[in-house]
Amino acid sequence: MPKCFAFLNAKRAAAFVFLAAAAGGLAAQAGPVDVQQKLMDALARSDVAGAVALFTDDAVIDTESGYCAKSPCVGKAAIQKDFERYVKDSTRRVTPLNTFVAGDVLVTRFEARSATIQKAGVERIILWGIKEIRGDKIASSRCCLPDRTDSQTARFLEWDYAHPSTP
C-alpha cells in the first residue's frame, strides 16, 4: 500500500511540476501578447500617442499599405504619421484569431474588416503579422501577409490589385 501511495504522490508531483512549468511558460508569454493587445486597444481608441509609445525609438514597421508600404517606417515619427492615417478609417476592425509566441516573437493570424474591404465585395480578410518585442516595447512589426488560401482574402486581393490606393 505505501508503494502505491508513493506512486500516486509521484504522479501528482509530476503533474504539479508539469502544470507549474506550463503556467510559468504562459506567464512568460503573456508579456508580448499583452503589448500587442495594448497596441490594438490604443488604435481602436484612435490613441495614436498611446500606440506610438509602445514602440522602441528605433522601431521598424514594414507593411503592405499606408506610408510604410513603399519603404519601411523607421522610428517613432514615421510610425506616428502612419498611425494617424490608420485611425482616420473608423470602419477598420482587427480581431486576432491565433497568436503564436516564441520568446519575444509573436506571429498573429487576424481578421480585418473595413469599408474598403467591403467595397471589394467581401466581409473580411485574413492576414498574418509578425512582431518582435524588446522588453515591453515593439521593436519591429511586419504586416500584413494575406492568407491567399482564404477565398474572401483572395477575392479582395484581386480587387485591390485592380484598384490601387495611395496613402
Question: pTM above 0.85?
Answer: no
Summarize pLDDT for 35-71 with one digit per residue, the tens. Answer: 999 999 999 999 999 999 999 999 999 998 888 988 9
Q: Domain boundaries in the chain?
A: 2-162
CATH of 2-162, one of 3.40.720.10, 3.40.50.2000, 3.10.450.50, 1.10.10.10: 3.10.450.50
| Closest C-alpha among 88, 107, 96, 79 to residue 40 | 96
Alpha helices by DSSP H, 45-113: 48-52, 76-87
* pLDDT tens digits, 118-158: 999 999 999 999 999 999 999 999 998 999 999 999 999 99
Query: What's the angle, vertex CA 12, arms to CA 6 and CA 17, rounded to 5?
Result: 125
Q: Which residues pair with 6 in a beta bridge?
A: none
Q: Are strands 137-146 and 55-62 parallel, antiparallel or unpaired?
A: parallel
